[in-house]
Amino acid sequence: MKITRATFDECMFPCYTPLDLLLVKGKGAVLTDSEGRTYLDLTAGIAVNSLGHCPKLLNKVLKKQSRTLIHCSNIFANKYTLTLAKTLQEKTPFERFFFVNSGAEANEAALKLARRYAFDKYGAEKADIISFSHSFHGRTFFTVTVGGQDKYSDGFGPKPGAVIHVPFNDIEALKQVLSDKTCAIIAEPVQGEGGIIPAEPGFLAQVKELAHSVNALLIFDEVQTGNARTGKLYAWEHSGVQPDILTTAKGLGGGLPIGAVMTSAEIASHFGPGTHGSTFGGNPLICAAATEILKEISSDKFLSKVNERAELLTAELNKIADKSPLIAKVRGLGLLQGLVLAEEYAGKAGEIQRFLVNYGVLCLTAGGSVLRIAPPLNIKKSQLRQACAKIAEGLEDYSRIHQI
C-alpha cells in the first residue's frame, strides 16, 4: 500500500487541509517527511509536544507501562491515575482533579460543573456563561458555542443558550452583561487561536472580582498556556489570579491525549456519582506518561531554561519584525509567540505559513493574520536561532514576490 499526501483526500473527512507533505519521523525539534526533507518544528503539535518528538523519557515510560496496565476504566481505581492526581495536588493549589482525553473535553466538563454548582447552590435561573470574543475553548458543540468565534459554531442548528460574549480586555463591557444569573466567566490568560493576545495587566484580577461579586465561578482555559508553555507551570501564576476551575491538556501528555480539570474539593463535590464521566479519560498508560512529563516540566531548572529560550525567541522575532514589512509587531508570553502581520497583509497568514515550508521551517497560524510560534519547550537555542533565520529569509522572499 503506497501512502502519499494524496491519500488524505481519498479517505479522510475534508475538515483539514494539510500542508503538501507527508511526515514520517520526528526527533526533538526536527521533523522528516516521506521525501527525506527535514524541517525545524515551531509547532510542537500545536503546543502539545512539550519535550519534542519521541523523547527518551516518554519512550521509556510507555514501554514499561504497556507491560503493566494499559486500560481498566473508571469502574476501578488504579495506582497510575491517582499518582498523577497526587502529583498535581503537590504542584498546584488545587485539591480535586478529573481526567479526560482532550482540551475540549476538559472545558466541556468545567462548564458543566460550573452550571451544576450554580444549580445546586442558587437554582436553575443562574446559568449564564460569559466568554470573550475571539476565544477558543474546543470543538464540542457546547465549547465551540462558548468560544467567541461564530465561524466555528454557525451552521450546526440551534446553539446552546445562556452564553454571552464580550470583547477581551474590556472590563466595562463585562460589567454591562454581568448579573445575578451569571454562573461562570471563562477566559484564556493568553488568547491562543484568536491571535496570541495576552490579558492586559490587572484585567484578570478585575474579572475574578466581578465574578465573585455575583457568586459566579472563574474558569481559566489553560489548554494551550499551561504545562510550562509560558515559563510558569500555569500562566495564571504570572498574574497571581487563581481561578476557581482550571482546565488544561496539550502539553500535559507530551504528545499523548490527556486533559484535566482542577478545582477545590467543595466545587468538585457537585459532580456526584453519575453526573459526569469518561471511558478513556485517566487511563493508566496515559497517566503514567503524564506524571513523568509533569515532573520534568515543573522543575525549577526546566522552567528557568524555558524562560531563557523564551527571551531568545522574543528577541529574534523582534529582529524579524524590525526588518520585515510583513510584520507589524510581536506579542505573546513565554514560548507562545505571535508574529502579527501588517495591515496590508491581513488574512495572509495561511499562505505565508505554506510558503515558509519551502525554507525548512514549520509554524502555525492564529486566525488569518498571525503566525503562531510554539516550539518544543526544550528546543535547542541554536535551533531557535536557525529557525528564526529561516523565517526571516522566507519573509524577505515572500515580501519581494508579493509586494503590496
Catalytic residues: 136, 221, 250
Beta bridge partners of 376: none
The SS3 of residue 390 is helix
Helix (H/G/I), strand (E/B), else coil: 395: helix
Under DSSP, the state recorded for 200 is: P
> Which residue from 39, 221, 60 is spatially nearest to 129, judged by alpha carbons?
221
Q: Which residue has the cell 481519498?
A: 10
Q: How far is CA 195 from CA 85, 100, 326, in A?
A: 32, 26, 16
Are 226 and 301 a contacting pair, CB within 8 Å? no
Positive or negative CA dihedral for 128, 130, 136, 137?
negative
Helix (H) or strand (E) holding 98: strand 96-100
The set of cell numbers assigned to 37 is: 526533507
CA–chain centroid gap for 252, Å, is 10
Supply 52's cell numbers.
Answer: 519534542
Contact 337, 330 (CB under 8 A): yes
Residue 231's nearest CA partner among 354, 377, 339 is 377
